[in-house]
Amino acid sequence: MSEIELNDEQRAMLAGEQGLARQMGLRLVLDLASMAGATRLVPIGGAHLSGVSPLTGGLGLRLFLARLAADPGAGVSAPTTLNSAGCDEHQFEAMRITEPEFLDHHREIIDLYARLGVRTIQSCVPYEWDGVVAAQIGAPVAWAESNAICFANSYCGLRTNRESGLSALACALTGYAPDYGLLDEAARRPNLAVNVTTPLDDPTDFSILGDWIGKQRRPGWRMPYGPIPAIGGLPDELSHEQRKALSAAAANYGCPLLYTAEPPSDGDYQDRLTFGPAELARRYEELRPRGPVSLVVLGCPQASLGELAAIARLLRDRRVSANPAAPGDPPPLWVFTSAAAKAIAERNGLAGAIRDAGALLLENTCPEVVPYDQTWVHSVLTNSMKAEHYIKSGLNGIATAVMRLADCIAVATGELRLSEREPVATVTASATTRPGQAAVVPIAMPIVSAAEMDRAAFVSHGQGLLSQGDFTIEGEALVTDTPITFLGYVNRLTGVIEEEDHPANGQSLAGKIAIFPRGTGSSVAPYVLLELHYRGVGPIAIVNSEIDQQTVPACSLEGIPYAHSFDSDVTRGLRSGDRVRLTRRGAVVTLELVEVEPYG
């Protein structure tokens, strides 16, 4: 483990002299630094925090923030902004949210962040806010919110690791981040070459490309900071909206940075992919609505002024509704934007034009973090693969279709009529109290190791966290060589993985020693882990084969035994169902097979 010399300010934080919040924050920062082999902490220019909606952060978020706010000290040490929330509280009734106590929980979360000194902008597009990027250039930053991370690294001249909501909060409280990973130029080199051989124009085309890249993930890829694609074949200049759609969708599966110039032929790539006319057409066909749509949502991430202008232009001389539709009538249209963009749109007439057409214009929230009333929202249409990815997940479990912006508007106006067949979508079953939703959990066979080896003698040695002492823990293993997407794809009430194309789909993390490469997807993952832990349905220990800011924070803060960076591939040497022992003595953690699973 790396040794980091602390300055006087940091020693005071660690001793609790500046409050519990900063003390806990520095402990986590030091754990992250030790895990990554960083030898120093660097001051940050600012931070952006995810984990705001009660739907995404859940019980884990509220309990943890309350703990920090009880002794905040001086609060955050660097300029810090807050991600989009679960509702527009000034239009809460119009959103028809029926989740019990949702508005109270929303206000509680916003108030707790404010007590820590966070600027509660409630926006997932901090890069569109006047002065935020300009004030943070020149020093590393600690951003959570997956789309903002990818956009900031790719187009804003900022450098941030793919922070989780918890690790970004720790950096914000202390004013420091570990110096490793994407803060170093060497780690920012592309590791995946993508050749685009079809014309792309509409932002939704770019959204589909970004999501497609992420979905190609292979178990053999070794990308410790996530896929960093170099994408060739795109137009020389991309619009802000095209860049935003591409980076937001690519971030669905962990891309923290992308390049949109022609990939060098001699690059050190782990794979080469081709996205052509057939791939684009196939995805549009797979994603189109198969029947009536209950609701059309636009603005994920929150709509820019350019997107609002495009929506207003398409709505000119047309009428839509904001309310649930009667059978056979066009679905309502909801448009989501930031408070900053909405304020300008109010002055230049765009907001009035959208409202005058009948749409609901919302601020401070985003389509993916809203708990929809499923007594009437049975299917959603959007132009965003980010929205599609999360609305269909266990967060809401609603069938979600994707079309270009003009087609979405045409559906909302009734000019484009859909067939009467029910929508066909990949919907993850969930047991999270969504009305009318079946809690069906598929059964998956244990994962088979790819390596032929003497499994009975399996032993591997790795590292632990600086804050954790010696431990011995024995139990059943859950093993997968594919990253786990926690937000929306791990059931908060049962600990079951619910992601249809994942090899561990249907298996439960509850009471297991979870062995997987890293977490992926949303930066809110640590709050999911915290809630699993608080509810008693989480793993009893976690082993990662790669450095991971998504799983470490919860383990660090709640003492869940954790290990990483083993001297052999633990995801291939063990199988789900094996009984394993995880032992830490000093700086070394040993993982050994105790009993082979019955299918072995």
How many Å apart are CA 322 and CA 320, to the nearest integer? 7
SS3 47: strand
Closest listed residue to residue 257, CA positions, set 160, 136, 169: 160
How many Cα neighbours within 13 Å face the side chain of 349? 2
- Give me 325's structure tokens: 């539709």
- Give me 539's structure tokens: 């793993």
How many Å apart are CA 318 and CA 358, to the nearest integer? 9
How many Å apart are CA 384 and CA 377, to the nearest integer? 18
Closest listed residue to residue 455, CA positions, set 571, 582, 600: 600
Peptide bond before residue 301 is cis, with ω within 30 degrees of 0: yes
CB 231 within 8 A of CB 196: yes
Beta strands in 428-487 (DSSP E): 459-463, 471-479, 484-485
Of the candidates 522, 523, 545, 576, the residue annotated as catalytic is 522
Listed in sequence order, the residues at least 6 apart from 238 whose beta carbon sits closer than 8 Å to its beta carbon are: 206, 246, 260
Backbone angles phi, psi at 121, to 5 degrees: -75, -20
Closest listed residue to residue 258, CA positions, set 113, 391, 147, 393: 147
Question: Which DSSP letter does residue 329 get?
Answer: S
Closest listed residue to residue 369, CA positions, set 115, 147, 142, 152: 147
CA distances from 588 to 376, 464, 465, 469, 555 (A): 54, 7, 10, 10, 17
Closest listed residue to residue 276, CA positions, set 353, 396, 195: 195
CB 275 within 8 A of CB 197: yes
Please, what is the end-to-end C-alpha distance for the chain in angstroms? 35
CA distances from 95 to 98, 312, 363, 372, 449 (A): 9, 21, 12, 8, 48
Q: What single letter denotes the amino acid at residue 90?
A: H
Closest listed residue to residue 250, CA positions, set 275, 278, 282, 285: 275
How many Å apart are CA 480 and CA 514, to the nearest integer? 9
Concerning whether 294 is annotated as a catalytic residue, the answer is no
Question: Which DSSP letter does residue 445 get?
Answer: P
CA distances from 47 to 11, 19, 169 (A): 22, 20, 8
How many Cα neighbours within 13 Å face the side chain of 200? 32
Total count of residues recorded for the chain: 600
How many Å apart are CA 404 and CA 202, to the nearest integer? 7
Helix axes 339-348, 305-315, angle to 10 degrees: 50
Q: Which residues are catalytic?
A: 522
